[in-house]
Chain A
Amino acid sequence: MSRRSLPEINAGSMADIAFLLLIFFLVTTTMDVDTGLVRKLPAMPEEEEIIDDSQIKARNIYVVLVNAKDQLLVEDELITISELREGTKRFLDNWGKNPNLSDNPQKAIVSLQNDRGTSYEMYINVQNELSAAYHELRDREAQKKFGQNYSDLKGENKKEIRKMFPEKISEAEPKNVEKN
């Protein structure tokens, strides 16, 4: 018996179908990568527990206050946002020289306090400047030790630098400072 070969399926319209699907996915796709500032919140204090911060010497705390008018008060001084990065770096990178600034970066804590009326934009700007100060110091140290930027380091080396400049930014317990 002669085998009749099956007629070939016309694949000419396959491209059209594929195009249709392609356009659908092109339209619905979102390629945005989520980026942001990562922070760790402190655990909720137990009831009746008194927060004892007297053990931390005042010189090791860098107090950053932001009020409802988005003004910055850093270590009792009114400054602008552009000065914050340098100020933080000076504070962290003191190594006990200036008696008003930190003993060393491991002990140093940046304490950020905001008002309920502070704008979110300002708050993020402040957080960003504080992070930038840490990153610049880490980069400098990484360059000195390994000849690489901090973000390019791997494993142990990265840990070492991170230990040297631990990012200690404390977001203080909320207080309602100014009312209006």
Chain B
Amino acid sequence: MSRFKKKKQGGTPAISTASLPDIVFMLLFFFMVTTVMRETTLLVENVLPKASEVKKIEDKSLCSYIYVGAPVSEMKIKFGTEPRIQLNDSFKLASDIQEFVATKREATAEEKKPQLITCIKADVDAKMGLITDIKQELRKAQAFKINYATYTILD
């Protein structure tokens, strides 16, 4: 009995928290390296369609994004409810796409230019008419590589 009591008296030693900063720093660096800040605010509703035969985009920096969809609720009064095109941070027309692609091309290093790809992030409710207009503009701008952004499902 006395022996049992003796053990209790000692109490559990406090766990050393000296290595806690190290662990936290490790996590911090991991997230700092992997983080990608969202550079555009979405002004359109953007529920992507689902597909199973997808490819991953290796280098996001080579991607120019074209968002298509109905304006979000705060924008509805000003821009209506029909699907529209968003480039960077504002609503644009299909005719602005050529300039948009050219700007991206200017900003890319010469050896990486052939790898440039245009990501069309279109909402499921968009109609092909608008997408066809975009495709025609991209053809005119000679940006032939495109990617229809989708969510991945397994079939």
Contact = CB atoms under 8 A, between A and B. Distances in A.
Interface string B49-68: 11111111100100100001
A25 B132 contact: no
B147 A15 contact: no
Interface residues of A, number: 43
A131 B149 contact: no
Interface residues of B, number: 55
A58 B2 CA distance: 98
Contacts of B50: 124
Interface in B121-153: 122-129, 131-132, 135-136, 138-140, 142-152
B24 A18 contact: yes
A19 interface: yes
Contact of A132 (B17, B127, B143, B155): B155
A108 B2 CA distance: 90
B128 A39 contact: no
Interface in A129-180: 131-132, 135, 171, 174
Nearest to B128: A118
Given A40-B144, A174-B136, A18 B25 contact: yes
B30 to A, nearest CB: 9
B42 interface: no
B72 interface: no
Contact of A35 (B17, B54, B127, B136): B54
B9 interface: no
B31 interface: yes
Interface of B: 17, 20-21, 24-25, 27-28, 31-32, 34-38, 49-57, 60, 63, 68, 117, 119, 122-129, 131-132, 135-136, 138-140, 142-152, 155
A131 B127 contact: no
B124 A121 contact: yes
A78 interface: no
Given A14-B21, A34-B147, A174-B132, 12 more contacts: A26-B31, A28-B37, A34-B63, A35-B149, A36-B51, A37-B147, A117-B128, A119-B124, A119-B127, A123-B131, A128-B53, A132-B155
B139 A30 contact: no
Contacts of B37: 28
A120 B124 contact: yes
A9 interface: no
A22 interface: yes
A132 B53 contact: yes
